[in-house]
């Protein structure tokens, strides 16, 4: 006998009825003319909530918007974003602080829409996938799975892999696209009610903003210690690497993004190339970047190498690949993560992703106290985790490296 792991989410009778008669005709309207778009914008204006989804194609590092499915909880407007080059009539409808967007796994949807509509700010968003992750162990679930769990509906997925860039679209394709929005009001009602009962409704919105528009990770501050094999380098190459690291850190973010991985810098310093051709031969050095920066980079490295003073040389020793303390610390972190997330009933991948767990581990290595470890996690996560981490650390102290 299979046991439903989420008994606290009752499936209502209407949901079961819909599951039995899912083939009922859906109310949707195809919008593929400027006049139709203006009518849809008037019908959607002033809504407290807009239920949204998109269809798009990703290719060659860019996304092309094909459809926008949008509803205020009644009719679903399926907007053909390929045939309508100007979607600006939707801008005033969607760019308002009084309207909340409701999406499922909506990071790409929100970014595409804000870009295509030229919205100046970020909307308030409720993401049903994020809400589920703040209430269960599951962080990334499909809309179909969530519709079954909460509403008892078995949505068809026959058109999931269709080419949404081809025209004309068939009626079954349009029905499928509209169905991705049709059940969002019911999902929102279930999830918002449960989140409110656990005093997490506000956290869902904060977590959604964090997931849809994540803050960029600050680039690692490079030092000699950042390069595990820097102990191989002699006097000249070590001086070249230090100079290269200083130059690299001063470059704008876009230049670093187009350049070699930081770890490639050590290969460059070890080789000390004397020409652009020699620099390009190194694995991990982009040719376009080398063509632009080769002369300057080679000059920096060779100047540093030729003026290196023996008194500046740091005799590095190789760090171990692994220690038993590393294994014990990793086990302690994983156990803490599992126990706290079970206690708080939230998905580990959302509440304590690995990058945050790594920060706690670094603080342990640095000798942080229980109170200090509890402050490592910031933002909306701290609301749930700060006291929980401090209590856990007091009851289960982390391992300590042997002197």
- pLDDT for res 155: 75
pLDDT band at 22 (very low <50, low <70, confident <90, very high): very low
Task: Examine the pLDDT at 295 and tell me if it is beyond 70.
Answer: yes
pLDDT band at 254 (very low <50, low <70, confident <90, very high): confident
Average pLDDT in the 60-83 region?
91
Quick check: 83 and 35 in contact, CB under 8 A? no
pLDDT band at 219 (very low <50, low <70, confident <90, very high): low
- pLDDT for res 16: 38
- pLDDT for res 2: 33
What letter would DSSP give residue 75?
A: S
**DSSP reduced 3-state for 66:** strand
* Segment (H or E) for 147: helix 143-151
In CATH terms, the superfamily for domain 229-312 is: HRDC domain (1.10.150.80)
- pLDDT for res 26: 52
pLDDT band at 255 (very low <50, low <70, confident <90, very high): confident
Record the tokens describing residue 230, joined without a space.
Answer: 């820097």
The whole-chain average pLDDT of the chain stands at 89
pLDDT band at 215 (very low <50, low <70, confident <90, very high): confident
Lowest-confidence segment of 73-77, 93-97, 255-259 by average pLDDT:
255-259
**386 class by beta-carbon count within 10 Å (0-12 exposed, 13-18 middle, 19+ buried):** middle
Average pLDDT in the 25-49 region?
91
Task: Examine the pLDDT at 119 and tell me if it is beyond 80.
Answer: yes
- pLDDT for res 61: 65
The pLDDT > 90 percentage for the chain reads 74
Helices 143-151 and 13-20, packing angle to 10 deg:
120
pLDDT band at 63 (very low <50, low <70, confident <90, very high): confident
Task: Examine the pLDDT at 20 and tell me if it is beyond 60.
Answer: no
pLDDT band at 261 (very low <50, low <70, confident <90, very high): confident
Lowest-confidence segment of 2-11, 268-277, 283-292, 351-360 by average pLDDT:
2-11
Task: Examine the pLDDT at 3 and tell me if it is beyond 60.
Answer: no
Lowest-confidence segment of 19-33, 96-110, 243-257, 351-365 by average pLDDT:
19-33
- pLDDT for res 183: 93
Q: Is the dihedral of CA 323, 325, 328, 334 positive or negative?
A: negative
Quick check: 340 and 305 in contact, CB under 8 A? no
- pLDDT for res 8: 46
- pLDDT for res 38: 97
DSSP 177-195: HHHHHHTHHHHHHHHHHHH
pLDDT band at 218 (very low <50, low <70, confident <90, very high): low
- What phi and psi, each to the nearest 5 degrees, are found at residue 116? -65, -35
Spatial neighbors of 175 by CB under 8 A, at least 6 apart, are 26, 28
Average pLDDT in the 92-113 region?
93
Q: How far apart are CA 280 and CA 315, in angstroms?
A: 30
Q: How far is CA 281 from its chain centroid?
A: 34
Average pLDDT in the 334-339 region?
98
Domain boundaries in the chain? 13-212, 229-312, 324-395
Task: Examine the pLDDT at 390 and tell me if it is beyond 80.
Answer: yes
Dihedral Cα 261, 265, 271, 277, nearest 10 deg: 50
Domain 13-212 has CATH 3.30.420.10: yes
Q: Centre a 10 Å sphere on the Cβ of residue 145 and count the other Cβ atoms it contains.
A: 14
- Does 13-212 match 229-312 in CATH topology? no
- pLDDT for res 11: 45
Average pLDDT in the 210-233 region?
87
Average pLDDT in the 322-334 region?
97
pLDDT in tens, 343-354: 999 999 999 999
């Amino acid at each position: 006998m299979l046991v439903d792991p989420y008994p606290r989410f009752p499936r209502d009778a209407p949901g079961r009825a819909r599951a039995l008669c899912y083939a009922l005709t859906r109310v949707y309207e195809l919008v593929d003319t400027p006049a139709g778009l203006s009518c849809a914008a008037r019908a959607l204006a002033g809504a407290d909530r807009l239920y949204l989804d998109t269809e798009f194609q990703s290719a060659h590092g860019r996304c092309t918007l094909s459809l926008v499915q949008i509803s205020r909880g009644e009719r679903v407007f399926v907007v053909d974003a390929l045939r309508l080059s100007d979607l600006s009539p939707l801008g005033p409808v969607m760019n308002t602080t009084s309207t909340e967007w409701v999406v499922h796994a909506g990071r790409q949807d929100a970014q595409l829409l804000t870009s295509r509509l030229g919205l100046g700010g970020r909307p308030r968003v409720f993401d049903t996938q994020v809400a589920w992750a703040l209430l269960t162990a599951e962080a990334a679930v499909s809309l179909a799975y969530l519709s079954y769990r909460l509403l008892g509906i078995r949505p068809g997925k026959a058109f999931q892999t269709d080419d949404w860039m081809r025209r004309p679209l068939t009626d079954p394709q349009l029905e499928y696209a509209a169905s991705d929005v049709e059940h969002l009001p019911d999902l929102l009602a279930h999830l918002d009610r449960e989140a409110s009962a656990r005093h997490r409704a506000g956290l869902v919105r904060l977590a959604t903003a964090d997931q849809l528009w994540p803050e960029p990770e600050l680039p690692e501050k490079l030092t000699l210690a950042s390069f595990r094999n820097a102990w191989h380098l002699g006097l000249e190459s070590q001086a070249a690497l230090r100079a290269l690291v200083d130059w690299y850190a001063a470059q704008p973010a876009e230049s670093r993004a187009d350049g070699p991985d930081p770890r490639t810098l050590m290969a460059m310093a070890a080789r000390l190339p004397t020409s652009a051709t020699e620099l390009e031969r190194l694995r991990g050095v982009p040719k376009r970047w080398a063509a632009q920066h080769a002369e300057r980079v080679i000059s920096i490295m060779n100047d540093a190498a030729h003026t290196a003073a023996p008194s500046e040389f740091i005799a590095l020793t190789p760090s171990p690949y692994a220690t038993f303390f590393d294994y014990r610390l990793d086990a302690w972190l994983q156990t803490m993560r599992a126990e706290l997330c079970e206690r708080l009933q939230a998905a580990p991948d959302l509440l304590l992703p690995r990058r945050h767990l790594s920060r706690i581990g670094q603080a342990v290595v640095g000798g942080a106290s229980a109170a200090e470890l509890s402050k490592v996690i910031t933002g909306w996560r701290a609301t749930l985790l700060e006291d929980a981490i401090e209590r856990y650390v007091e009851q289960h102290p982390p391992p300590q490296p042997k002197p």
